[in-house]
Structure 1
Amino acid sequence: MKPRAVVFAYHNVGVRCLQVLLARGVDVALVVTHEDNPSENIWFGSVASVAAEHGIDVVTPADPRSPELRAAVSAARPDFIFSFYYRHMLPLDLLAIAARGAYNMHGSLLPKYRGRVPTNWAVLNGESETGATLHEMAAKPDAGAIIAQTPVPILPDDTAAQVFDKVTVAAEQTLWRVLPALLAGEAPHLPNDLSHGSYYGGRKPEDGRIDWSQSAQQVYNLIRAVAPPYPGAFTDLNGHRFIVARARLAVPGALRSDLPPGLHVSDNAVFAICGDGRAINIHELRHQHDGGETAVSPAKFAQLIQSHS
């Protein structure tokens, strides 16, 4: 008899990991996902669409603690519960319904970067490596025993979106590799020592405000960590808001360092000076206004800031 599972999933990791379960012959009896938020930039795949293509029942409860959801999960009689980038913590009494355990895929190398948006935090903090970890679910977030993990590199100019693409593949590889042993009851359950890890909370768009007094590396890490399709690193200048969508650290000494920290335009190029005197070349600058965002040329940028100076 095929093992049965209830899957809580969202985003690209949810799509790929659900497909791994199906490819490995797991009977997915129910998929629990989120309604897309109309105010959110939906740049990722749809778990609900994948489930519909395979004829799997889908529910989108607002509250994972609701009696209705608990009844639906109980009725599915799952051997396993899996959570793949589902955005809510699942209560222990719900997890206990799974006869053979409940497991979550997290986008970091646990115990580092427990919590929310781990890929963005890893880029922001200048890490050179992250990954994906399948772990047992527990009362605390990302705190249960580690089943398997796969590392990926973070290159010096990678944006969080580029790293997230790698983490998605790492999640798929991790689940594909360990799932046969997990289904056979032979997968390792390794300690997840939280004393050697870290926990990070969610991020808000306002957290993308650039502090030009920081070092160029710190500013560049922020730009990479929240670059589109995330909301972007921004700065306000002369009544205008500008989003730094793409940038690169300048070679030391390549640009003037006697200018104050902040955005500047010279020789038909926009650049920024940071608190340590190092510069960042701005390759794409966007102007945020009532109608949305518009990419601006160096000449247009100069015109905008001079008109309010």
Structure 2
Amino acid sequence: MRVVMFGYQTWGHRTLRALLESAHDVALVVTHPQSDHAYEKIWSDSVAGLAEEHGVPVVLRDRPDDDLLLTLKEVQPDLIVANNWRTWIPPEFITLPRHGILNVHDSLLPAYAGFSPLIWALINGEQEVGVTAHMMNDELDAGDIVVQRAVPVGPADTATDLFHRTVDLIAPIVAESLDLIASGRTDWTPQDRSKASFFHKRSIEDGNIDWTWPAEDIERLVRAQSDPYPNAFTHYKGERVRVLKASVSQGVYGGTPGRVFIREGDGIVIVAGAEARRGRSHGLVIERVRTEDGTDLPAGDLFRTMGGYLTARP
């Protein structure tokens, strides 16, 4: 088959590498210009660089336009393969290749369509995550499923752990999907849209800790915002503090959410949960923090005395 690839960052890079290693002809690569967005500067292997190394023409676009459509008509692809393409692809692009567009998405669709699915899934306590290859239609991440693979989420896993585990699924999923499409198969599995969910891009503000959340949820937020992602953060005495490591307290504590309360184990308990005033909630034990100047230190070195509050704003 004659294939065009739409993709960006490491997800797109892994997809392109799988295409280049296949028996199919990669005729063109379309990728986004480099971005300063905090979440787009990490996992940023260059799709354009890999294409150029292999002599594949590259087109840079923020979004598909009429000029790109004309280029694709000249290339005449049998299939477009997309991964981590960040903007809407119009219907006329989807219907142009005779096999349509195969999109590769890092969630177990129909759940977690949209952006940052691994982070959202970890925050929400999902027991597994994965990668889905599906045929694109005019609704984002909603097309029929070609191949889907899952991996379990462990109790200490970070978003970084899950990234490495799922990105390794891309190459075999792409290879299997290409074989199925080339064989003439079209009996794909429709998504159960009653189980669909759709999430927005994450920004720095999404890591701002809400101390009315249960401690279990905040602990997952901390793991979801692991390095190199922008860390979960709060404010203490007017300064931003990033939380690098935390756990749910053994004890049950009462009071006002955000209160710097008591030492437990290797950390400092912060009162958490909307029902904390009833004295029936576990707190969050902060164990390691990063200050605004980039210094990492044990929480006890920052919270030297008990009392005071952690807040959403300085």
Judge same fold: TM > 0.5, yes or no: yes
CA displacement, residues 117-171 of structure 1 (integer Å, 9 cap, x when unaligned): 1111111110011111100111110111111100111111211121122121223
Q: Does 1:175 align with 2:179?
A: no
Q: C-alpha distance in 2, partners of 1:14/1:60?
A: 14
In 1, are the aligned partners of 2:268 and 2:300 still within 8 Å (CA)? no
Show the counterpart of 2:92: 93
Q: Does 1:146 align with 2:145?
A: yes
The 1:246–1:73 alpha-carbon spacing in structure 2 relative to 1, beyond 3 Å, is farther
Q: Does 1:57 align with 2:57?
A: yes
The 1:129–1:39 alpha-carbon spacing in structure 2 relative to 1, beyond 3 Å, is closer
The 1:67–1:305 alpha-carbon spacing in structure 2 relative to 1, beyond 3 Å, is farther
Show the counterpart of 1:31: 29
The RMSD of aligned alpha carbons is: 2.6
Structure 1 segment 119-198 matched on structure 2, within 5 A: 119-186=118-185, 188-198=187-197
Show the counterpart of 1:112: 111
Show the counterpart of 2:16: 18
Aligned-pair CA distance for 1:238? 1.5
Alignment partner of 1:149: what SS?
strand
In 2, are the aligned partners of 1:116 and 1:202 still within 8 Å (CA)? yes
CA displacement, residues 198-226 of structure 1 (integer Å, 9 cap, x when unaligned): 22222221121111222111111211222
Q: 2:271 aligns with which of 270, 273, 284?
A: 273
Gaps of 5+ in 2: 310-314
Q: C-alpha distance in 2, partners of 1:56/1:261?
A: 55
Q: C-alpha distance in 2, partners of 1:25/1:305?
A: 64
Structure 1 segment 256-267 matched on structure 2, within 5 A: 257=253, 260-262=256-258, 263=260, 266=263
The 1:299–1:196 alpha-carbon spacing in structure 2 relative to 1, beyond 3 Å, is closer
Aligned-pair CA distance for 1:107? 1.1
Q: Figure out how many residues of one structure are paired with residues of the other and give that number.
A: 300
In 2, are the aligned partners of 1:14 and 1:47 still within 8 Å (CA)? yes
CA displacement, residues 102-121 of structure 1 (integer Å, 9 cap, x when unaligned): 11001111111112211111
Q: C-alpha distance in 1, partners of 2:223/2:91?
A: 36
In 2, are the aligned partners of 1:246 and 1:282 still within 8 Å (CA)? yes
Q: C-alpha distance in 1, partners of 2:15/2:306?
A: 47
Q: Percent identity?
A: 33
In 2, are the aligned partners of 1:238 and 1:305 still within 8 Å (CA)? no
Alignment partner of 2:292: what SS?
strand
Instruction: Name the aligned partner's letter for residue 230 of structure 1.
Output: Y
In 2, are the aligned partners of 1:150 and 1:173 still within 8 Å (CA)? no
Aligned-pair CA distance for 1:8? 0.5
Aligned-pair CA distance for 1:266? 4.2
Gaps of 5+ in 1: none
Alignment partner of 1:68: what SS?
helix
Show the counterpart of 2:289: 285
Q: Does 1:5 align with 2:3?
A: yes
Aligned-pair CA distance for 1:11? 2.0
Q: C-alpha distance in 2, partners of 1:32/1:177?
A: 22
Alignment partner of 1:86: what SS?
coil
Q: C-alpha distance in 1, partners of 2:255/2:227?
A: 28
In 1, are the aligned partners of 2:99 and 2:181 still within 8 Å (CA)? no
Q: C-alpha distance in 2, partners of 1:173/1:283?
A: 39
